Structure 1
Amino acid sequence: MASEPSSTTIASEPSTSTSEIRTDATEVFQLEALSLNYLRNQDISTIPYEKDLPKLNPCSLCNKGILTFRLQAFTVLSCGHIFHRICLGEYIAQGETTNPLCPLCPFTIELFREEA
């Protein structure tokens, strides 16, 4: 009795599309921009001239700059998106789920709760 070949689909391995690759490159660019802008704000003289610094996208929740004169705490999610910590906290608090998604993509935000 010959058995038919079986096919297996692994759900945890989604196919990668061109738009996903472009998004990944964009997020890496934003992390590089974050690093350079942070160093500039620390007055470290070994970074490129300001005209060479890439623009850092603003927080997409409040549309204000991440690194501004009045520094605010920010969070970089696993997916690479950057938000002000206060904005992200308010976004999560408004949600009705225990597994919130990033406001810009379908990645789940990992929440860590402090034990009392």
Structure 2
Amino acid sequence: MSDQNNASTTQNKISVTNFKNLAFNILKYFDDPIVKNEKFPELDKCVLCNKEIFLSPIKSFTILACSHVFHRICIDKEILLTKENVCPVKNCKKSIEILDQFSRWDSKSSMASIVRRMEKYNI
């Protein structure tokens, strides 16, 4: 029982650390003086398009439960085009829970919207 609690606590700390890192990177992107002298890891690129998470103009991004960060359009496209709802990061493959009232193939308007966004951003 103690080992399970320790593993859960460690996993929560990793998530909090990742979110803190994300917040620092957002502040850095906007040249906020709060993080001027702070040392922290930069965010990885979106593994699906290999571009920086914070682009100009800034795009929406999605954080999965496993703490991996993607451009929203990239992860939407990945989920629509694959049969598995799992994190696309190599060696992660944690399940992705879709929090949408429609299934991924039931909403033609949602799919059309995503296709339009993909065309707009040349993805």
Normalised to the residue count of structure 1, the TM-score between the two structures is 0.64
1:103 aligned to 80, 88, 97, which one?
Answer: 88
1:47 aligned to 6, 23, 35, which one?
Answer: 35
Structure 1 unaligned spans of 5+: 1-12
Cα distance in 1 for partners of 2:42, 2:18 equals: 8
Structure with higher helix content: 2
Cα distance in 1 for partners of 2:43, 2:83 equals: 30
Contact 1:30 1:57 in 2 (8 A): no
Seq. identity, %: 33
Structure 2 unaligned spans of 5+: 108-123
- Number of equivalenced pairs: 93
Structure label with greater radius of gyration? 1
Could you report, residue by residue, the CA deviation over 1:69-107 in whole angstroms, capped at 9, with x for unpaired residues? 32110001001111110000010011124xx01112121
Cα distance in 1 for partners of 2:69, 2:80 equals: 18
Task: Give the match's secondary structure for 1:46.
Answer: helix
Normalised to the residue count of structure 2, the TM-score between the two structures is 0.61
Map of 1:34 onto structure 2: 22
Task: Give the match's secondary structure for 1:83.
Answer: strand
- For residue 46 of structure 1, report the CA deviation from its aligned partner: 1.6
Cα distance in 2 for partners of 1:49, 1:70 equals: 25
Amino acid in structure 2 at the alignment position of 1:36 = F
Task: Give the match's secondary structure for 2:25.
Answer: helix
Q: RMSD of the alignment, in Å?
A: 2.8
